[in-house]
Amino acid sequence: MDERTDAQLLLASRMDPEAFTALYRRHAEALLRFFARRTLDPEAAAELTAETFAQAFASRATYRDQGVDGVAWLYGVARHQLGRFFRSGRVDAAARHKLGMPERPIPPEDFDRIEELVDFEPIRKALVEAIEELPDRQQDALRLRILDGNSYADVARALSCTEMNARQRVSRGLRTLALALQERGLALTTEAE
C-alpha cells in the first residue's frame, strides 16, 4: 500500500507513471460509483471513468500542489466529463484517443455489478414518476430490472428479446432517467462524494 498522499502521487506520476497507477487503484471504484449514481447508466459510468482517468493521466503535468488535494483535482476532471456528458448525451473519447487507449465494451458481468453501486431506494418515488414518462419498451425493461429486481436473462425472456437487447433498453432508459432526475434536482449522491 502506497503511503503517499494523492497530491504526492500526482506530482510523482510526471516522472514515474507507476505512481499514477497507485492513484488509479485508490480511486477507480469510487469514481465508478460516482458516475454510476449520477448517470444511472452502467455503460456511461464505465466510459466516463475510463475517460476521466485518461484525461487525468494526459494532463497530470498541469497539476500544481497549491492546497488543492489530488483527489479533488481528479473529481474536478470527473465533474467536467460529467457536465459534457449531460450536455451532449454522449461520452467523449478524446483523451483515450490521444493516449492510444482503446474504447472497450463493458463485459456483461460488470453491468450487474455497476448497477449494484446505485442505491435507488432514496429516490424510488421520483424514479417511479420519471419512469412513467419513458417510452413503453424502456418502461417495461426498467420495471422488470430495477423495480422487480429480475436478472437480465429474465428481463429478456419476459420481453421476448435477446439479453443484449434487454441491456440496451435498460441502459437507455436509465440514461433518460438520469437526465430527468438531474432536471428535478435529484441526484443519487452520498455525503462522502
Q: Least Å distance between CB 20 and another protein?
A: 7
Handedness of CA 73, 79, 80, 81 (dihedral sign): positive
Q: Does 100 bind another protein (CB under 8 A)?
A: yes
Residues 6+ apart with CB under 8 A from 151: 112
Q: Is 160 exposed, middle or buried (0-12, 13-18, 19+ CB in 10 A)?
A: exposed
Residues 6+ apart with CB under 8 A from 103: 47, 50, 93, 96
Q: Does 79 bind another protein (CB under 8 A)?
A: no
Q: Binding marks (x or -) toward another protein, 123..162, rule CB under 8 A?
A: ----------------------------------------
Which of 65, 76, 83, 90 is the binder for another protein (CB under 8 A)? 90
Q: Does 94 bind another protein (CB under 8 A)?
A: yes
Q: Does 46 bind another protein (CB under 8 A)?
A: yes
Q: Does 49 bind another protein (CB under 8 A)?
A: yes
Question: Which residue, among 165, 170, 163, 126, has the nearest Cα to 148 in the 3D structure?
Answer: 170
Which of 6, 34, 35, 53 is the binder for another protein (CB under 8 A)? 53
Q: Does 54 bind another protein (CB under 8 A)?
A: yes
- CA distance linking residue 23 with residue 29, whole number of Å: 11
Q: Does 1 bind another protein (CB under 8 A)?
A: no
Residue 178 φ/ψ region, left for φ over 0, alpha for ψ in the -120 to 50 degree band, beta for the rest: alpha
Find out whether 150 and 156 touch, Cβ atoms under 8 Å: no
Q: Which is nearer to another protein, 20 or 145 (CB)?
A: 20
List of residues contacting another protein (CB under 8 A): 14-15, 17-18, 20-21, 24-25, 28-29, 32, 46, 49-50, 53-54, 57, 61, 90, 92-94, 97, 99-107, 109-110, 113-114
